Structure 1
Amino acid sequence: MIVGIDIGGTKTHVCVEDDAGAALLDLSVKTADWQHGGHLHSEDNVRGLLALLDAVPDADAAPLVVGAHGLDSEGQTLAFSETLSQLHDGPALAVNDVELVGPAAGFDEAIAVIAGTGSKVVGRRIDGMLVSAGGYGYILNDPGSAPALVRDAVRTLFEAVDEDEPRDALADLLFAHFGVDEIVGLSNALTVRPRVTAWGAAAPLVFAAADAGSARAARVVENAADELAHSVELVHRRGAAGADVVCAGGVISHQPRLFEALGERLRARGLAHSIHLLDVPPVRGALALARRLTEAATAVPFAPTNTRRKS
């Protein structure tokens, strides 16, 4: 038996499989149903997470891998891993949720690109060391994420007004979406009460405007793709193993323009990696890593050195 858990900002996906690969549990719940407060590693939160396994006998002793949104530093990962190892009887491993992407696609070694509510690029060197780029939040970073695309689209509309250009499809769609009729109102709509959900909800309009012929919207998408490609280049340059790039996340999975532009920008930067779009739930990556926990530690190329067993 193995257990895989994918903790996202809004949803937690839990899967348990028997030794033959048959599903014993496939459960999705709101993360807020069990996580209370901002400290993922608190004992109460980890107990709440593990309680999701109660329906499966002996799951508390099975190899467990958790990929979690919010494990963005070694300290955060270590704190969560320590609590997890204290409360789970079987071997346990915790990683950032981005690290589930490569194993979910069936790759032992790959660079993972997430572009959804946030964005980040992650890989591991042959020695197991994590290398990453981006993921610093939608207000200042996270290229290609839904809110960052809207942020950059609005900024390019500021330029259009200052350059006295006529309104295009991008302006028309964003003005209508936010219920405003001029640029100052649009700025206020985003900045008086900035919220990731409010910004991100307008992201499909950037792609719609590009498809309708807005040159500014098209450049926003192309620039986002280039920033993501630059992050892949940085991670590769720092030693990330693998000849494949695997992409996941709500934006890049549902907007072919961004995925195709990323492939073009990778080639323009001289990177020969094959690019793939993840077509299975990321929790499959947690299960793949959990299966490796039954093998020697050296057979877990994506895993950091925080694999622990309850003492």
Structure 2
Amino acid sequence: MNASWLGMDVGGSKIQVRIEDRSGRLLFDQQWPTGPWSGEPWSRKSARMAELIAFACKQAKLTAPPVAVGIGAHGCDTPEECAAMTALMADRLPGSVCQVVNDAALVALSAYGEPAAGLIAGTGSVAVARGADGGWLQTGGWGWVVGDEGGASGLVRAAIGAILLDWDGGCQDDPLTTTLVEAFGVAHLLDLPSQLLRKPASEWSRHAPLIFDCLPRDSRLARQVVDAAVVSLTSLILRLRERGATFNQVIAAGGVIRHQPVLFGLLANALRQHDAGLSLSLLQAAPVSGALRLARQIAPEASLSSPLRGV
């Protein structure tokens, strides 16, 4: 049997599929835009994933279905949702073992060595880790309206809130205030909140780097916003431990944490203050590598004689 394993990362903006053989040799690796996803019925999502998997297997010239398929899917936020999507994919992939997890879990799965928590601080923010029973625990990931502190959308929302509180106190000359008023192109700072409703978060959250740009300009508000983000991201990790997750390393991914070394350094220090042995590092591999590791975990070579269809 020419065994192969397939990993799929379905993120908010792109989908990546990678196939490896028994020795780890790469057989296929390609990306596509995610397209319509949030709000789509699960049947349509599973059909889209199965279509891309079939295409990948054909392009890789596989002579048999992959032994296992590991999938990280954006929007599968609860164990029940992951189990339901796993069942749908198992029906569409009858020759393979299949498991679907939240796409954030792929960050933790990409780590080697000791168990890790995965932390994403990109447009939004979320943390994941395995619980004592082996299932996945998640903190955060609520969306910008009520959460995503430390992510780009949460940072911009918090910055606007800080600017408005400063205005209530009789101030409007902080560098962060003038910077965001100019960036959003509004006539007055009181017009800033409405901008969050007029455009999608994916658009206005791009202003998040401006907050960090204001730090060297002695912006009191920018420092408040960044410090609060560090507290929030630290809390995501600590809540995982409070719920029984065991890990000594945190693997971070996402544009904000990757491109803002100030935030990374402050967060690493905050985590060490709670546990001197808790390390923070940036994800070095594509998240799809975590999906491949999941596939190999649910169907290692030793189990090839009696695979399961869904786990």
Alpha carbons of 1:52 and 1:70: their partners in 2 closer, same or farther (altered >3 Å)? farther
Q: 2:226 matched to 1:221? A: yes
Q: 2:147 matched to 1:141? A: yes
Q: Secondary structure at the match of 2:104?
A: helix
Aligned to 1:92: 98
Q: Measure how far apart 1:267 and its partner are.
A: 2.6
Q: Distance in 1 between matches of 2:159 and 2:100?
A: 36
Which of residues 19, 33, 37 in structure 2 aligns to 1:30?
33
Which of residues 104, 110, 135 in structure 2 aligns to 1:104?
110
Q: Secondary structure at the match of 2:221?
A: helix
Equivalences for residues 185-204 of structure 1 within 5 A: 185-191=191-197, 193-204=198-209
* 1:6-27 Cα deviation digits (max 9, x unpaired): 1001100111112222211110
Q: Distance in 2 between matches of 1:232 and 1:293?
A: 26
Q: Distance in 2 between matches of 1:93 and 1:190?
A: 36
Alpha carbons of 1:293 and 1:74: their partners in 2 closer, same or farther (altered >3 Å)? closer
Q: 2:283 matched to 1:278? A: yes
Q: Secondary structure at the match of 1:201?
A: helix
Runs (4 or more) in structure 1 with deviation over 4 Å come to none
Q: Secondary structure at the match of 2:35?
A: helix
Q: Secondary structure at the match of 2:12?
A: coil
Q: Answer yes or no: is the 8 Å Cα contact 1:233–1:271 preserved in 2.
A: no
* 1:115-137 Cα deviation digits (max 9, x unpaired): 11211111112321322211111
Aligned to 1:12: 15
Equivalences for residues 227-246 of structure 1 within 5 A: 227-246=232-251
Q: Distance in 1 between matches of 2:299 and 2:21?
A: 13
State the one-letter code of the partner of 1:55.
Q
Which of residues 56, 59, 68 in structure 1 aligns to 2:60?
56
Structure 2: any 5+ residue segments left out of the alignment?
A: none
Identity of paired residues, percent?
A: 33
* 1:182-222 Cα deviation digits (max 9, x unpaired): 1122222223x252113211111111112322121122111
Q: Answer yes or no: is the 8 Å Cα contact 2:105–2:136 preserved in 1.
A: no
Q: Measure how far apart 1:254 and its partner are.
A: 1.0
Q: Secondary structure at the match of 1:32?
A: coil
Normalising by structure 1, report the TM-score. Answer: 0.89
Alpha carbons of 1:10 and 1:308: their partners in 2 closer, same or farther (altered >3 Å)? farther
Q: Distance in 1 between matches of 2:52 and 2:83?
A: 17
Alignment length (residue pairs): 300
State the one-letter code of the partner of 2:27.
L
Q: Answer yes or no: is the 8 Å Cα contact 2:176–2:214 preserved in 1.
A: yes
State the one-letter code of the partner of 2:250.
V
Alpha carbons of 1:156 and 1:95: their partners in 2 closer, same or farther (altered >3 Å)? same
